[in-house]
Chains A and B, each alone.
Chain A
């Protein structure tokens, strides 16, 4: 095990012969030719799988009084109907399904129908007769502003916030709201369960393999060693697939009971209410500054809600680190709701926290008659504002991001007065936002094998949810071992392989490649010893190991059997000693139709500082996706609660709108050169979520600059803009 507890010195990744190069995704050909199997597509492993269809609750809170399964059981092809009346007992700690008559949320599983075909199961699922008693639930955040101060959120009360705020010459005191949002990833949640004796193999769509083995094993009461989870390819997750849902548990239980593989996919409609969502927030921003623009009081209170025990959306978190200011009051209030359970969605916290904070900063800039870029620059701080200079940032180039972006975007052409630029029917404006996303890292392991033919096999339980994990782990091994990319094969997404970080929270790339780095170091040492070289001096390049003028082909070191090294990385307390985050600056140009108020994005630029860029192509793609999602959060994404039924009404992709191609113009992404030796031996930071962090605020700031309308209730749809245009 390699422990990363001191800043990285020079190491073999510094060669950058393979890393930092824009390699195409090595899994790309499999995907575009339809050969990469997803969770529902393991026909070879489960050729005779039966089809399960989940039936979900149509009330938000209450009880099942009666459930009549007789018609469904008699329907053609039906093998089993499972309800709370006959479901196996499961453990509460986990993700138990069908454990009682109580309905805790809309979309909760109330039955599973299994049949020989998908069509039969779907038809029979409609034949259940379920009687409910509906109870009054708590579905509206508006009613619940008196939520409890969340202890988990790490609230900050520093200096004399009230006094500083009261005495400051410039201040804003504004409330923003952000709606519930759905991940809307492309691949639905799906599971195929196959038992061999008492051993379960579960093919499913998930982001972290060991969370599956512990979660499913714990729920259904089998030893964790008896379950193997496989998520070799995952069609997007955005946090939704960090959780175990009914598909995984019920497929496992049904397959065991039937003695036959069972597969289940949630329907698109079920996903919106059964799975997690990003929780709604109300955010109260109080920012105060001196005439020089320097913040003297930073206040950010978030009101959010979730089911008992849940976390809601901690939208105030980034405000602890983004700007200077001696007097700080940063809080999260959490209310109990009976809506579907909230969960992590791409950049939980920052994605919607910045929608509010970075608009409030623009409101402050206007009061100060100060350029919004300059306001952000004068409030830059190179250390954790709560702790002081003893906790510097590992690498913080926010100012360079802002300056570089302003120059490249043509920010100097922005007219600071709103509503001045017209292009035909369009009122055109520019907006800016800072971006920040924390840089979590977590333990991760890899097995690296040098095979007799000189090729390298990299194996890890790491997942690739469409991000490029396969490719960057191949690049890491190629760099470390001095072999070409074509000589590296990567296998991921299997809990039988060394435990790894999985994908989530922007930790995957940095953590998993560090695990591969560790395993490669071990392999280098083993090979050097075989060659009789000093492991510290040996150079690995061009498929050979060399020291001094001696050079030995790697292949010749492998006899009949491959040489294998397994190792993992563990991270020490450098995240405590150094504040760590990825930074960015987003610039947007938006047109607002002067007649209808329709907002349309015309240009976006994100300048990102993520330490070393492992692969500029896959990193850029992550930013493009994040920026696109940011446009959605600014302009259209809105899960609508109908409090009469306690559910999200718009539960399909026609009514829950995300951007389509026509909404997304040419996007521009720039990475600042850099490396972060306190983050990991790879000297990289997370990038998967940075793109969404702030871009939406740049869009809404541009709307204000275009037409003088400040929408504080997201999303900024035409009706809200129009209301402003008409006043």
Chain B
């Protein structure tokens, strides 16, 4: 691990300023991903700004009937919050499908959105990786790619987005609230928050350097039946091979997908179709699988069918 300096921020804006003033600074909250990456020197921040003491741990209703979840609300607290469980059950279920109890107790709402890919070559500093070191090439292409993405990828990177929580947030049309070093704020629709890789897979989201997540807001509840179906090689503590988040009923039909793309994947146009085959075909349009992860295409279709069946049961 590279030696680093450390400070504790006493306000969200001060945190943003502290990071903005240092080109190699990073925020640290739960640290469940960042510290692992620092130990491997995949991440090498020279300065850490600790935001864990900030007052961003509340879950509260918004004026328009929605919900604001503070950036530092832990995954455990969010998933077990009575409003989330009752009105945004797909989010609660997605969070509970991820990681382990210990990790969920430390991991935060804002941090979860910023999880980095689990591509094994990204994690290995001795191997070329455009995400870790732009311009070095992609080792995953032509390598071990069984778990990697088939959508939103490019010739530069085929890494998958790892979060379960973010898939449910994409389904729910969440917005990511941020503060800038100058005190300005913005609300980024989650659809625009994560990026497809293109030629810059090192840039994973819409945040600017120093921009700090303060909360995630959810629109008013959708009703319907909420399902989160996570498919994986073992029954717990594994990233999704494929996951499907769904809300069906009360005039709503929405689907978002994890494990298959560079970002939480949702194709709104597909939601107007009926039948899993038609929907899957539209969702998977443009998929570029490798020989090792081609199975994700039928797997996604079949998981979607199972999810619809479960929601309608």
Contacts and interface: CB of A to CB of B under 8 A. Distances in A.
Interface of A: 58, 76, 119, 122-123, 126, 269, 425, 593, 595-598, 600, 635-636, 640, 642, 644-645, 649-652, 654-655, 657, 659-663, 717-719, 722-723, 726
| Residue in A596, A650, A651 whose Cβ sees the most chain B Cβ within 10 Å | A596
B143 interface: yes
20 contacts: A58-B126, A122-B39, A126-B41, A595-B303, A596-B303, A596-B306, A598-B231, A635-B233, A644-B143, A649-B120, A649-B121, A649-B144, A650-B120, A651-B124, A655-B120, A662-B235, A718-B299, A719-B295, A722-B295, A722-B299
B193 interface: no
A433 to B, nearest CB: 21
Contacts of B121: 649
Given A595-B303, A649-B143, A657 B118 contact: no
Contacts of B208: none
B198 interface: no
Main secondary structure of the interface of B (DSSP, over half): loop
B1 A119 contact: yes
Given A425-B306, A595-B306, A718-B241, A663 B236 contact: yes
Nearest to A723: B295
B234 A660 contact: yes
| Residue in B120, B146, B234 whose Cβ sees the most chain A Cβ within 10 Å | B234
A51 to B, nearest CB: 13
Given A595-B305, A596-B306, A642-B143, A659 B299 contact: no
Interface string B103-140: 00000000000000010110110110000000000010
B142 interface: yes
Interface of B: 1-3, 39-41, 118, 120-121, 123-124, 126-127, 139, 142-144, 146-147, 231-239, 241-242, 295, 298-299, 302-303, 305-306
The 3 closest A-B pairs by CB, nearest first: A58-B126, A662-B235, A662-B236
Contacts of B241: 718
Given A644-B142, A652-B123, A655-B147, 16 more contacts: A76-B3, A123-B1, A123-B2, A425-B306, A640-B144, A644-B139, A645-B127, A649-B120, A650-B120, A650-B144, A651-B124, A655-B118, A661-B236, A663-B235, A722-B302, A723-B295
Given A600-B235, A723-B295, A642 B144 contact: yes
A611 B242 CA distance: 47
B74 to A, nearest CB: 21
A636 B236 CA distance: 13
Given A595-B305, A650-B120, A659 B295 contact: no
Contacts of B3: 76, 119, 123
Nearest to B301: A595
A654 B118 contact: yes
Contacts of B232: 598
A76 B40 CA distance: 19
A657 B299 contact: no
A660 B142 contact: no
A122 B1 contact: yes
Contact of A126 (B2, B242, B305): B2
Contacts of B231: 596, 598, 718
Contacts of B144: 640, 642, 649-650
A721 to B, nearest CB: 10
Contacts of A58: 126-127
A600 B234 CA distance: 8
A636 B299 contact: no
B1 to A, nearest CB: 6
Nearest to A59: B126
A565 B40 CA distance: 52
Contacts of B123: 652
Contacts of B2: 123, 126
A659 B39 CA distance: 25
A661 B39 CA distance: 27
A652 B299 CA distance: 26
Nearest to A601: B235
A595 B302 contact: yes
A130 to B, nearest CB: 10
Contacts of A597: 299
A476 to B, nearest CB: 39
Nearest to A130: B126
A61 to B, nearest CB: 15
Given A123-B1, A126-B41, A596-B302, A660 B236 contact: yes
Nearest to B306: A595
A555 to B, nearest CB: 50
B234 A657 contact: yes
A719 B146 contact: yes
B298 A663 contact: no
Contacts of A660: 234-237
A660 B100 CA distance: 11
Nearest to A719: B295
A640 B241 CA distance: 17
A642 to B, nearest CB: 5
Contacts of A657: 233-234, 238
A552 B153 CA distance: 83
Contacts of B118: 654-655
A717 B2 CA distance: 38
Contacts of B124: 649, 651
Contacts of B295: 719, 722-723
A341 B121 CA distance: 22
B233 A636 contact: yes
Contacts of B305: 595
A126 B40 CA distance: 9
Nearest to B146: A719
Nearest to B231: A596
A650 B238 CA distance: 13
Contacts of B237: 660, 662
A371 B57 CA distance: 61
A269 B298 CA distance: 33
Contacts of A650: 120, 144
| Residue in B127, B144, B232, B233 whose Cβ sees the most chain A Cβ within 10 Å | B233
A179 B241 CA distance: 20
Nearest to B162: A654
A662 B234 contact: yes
A649 B120 CA distance: 7
Nearest to A598: B231
A481 B169 CA distance: 68
B162 to A, nearest CB: 10
Contacts of A644: 139, 142-143
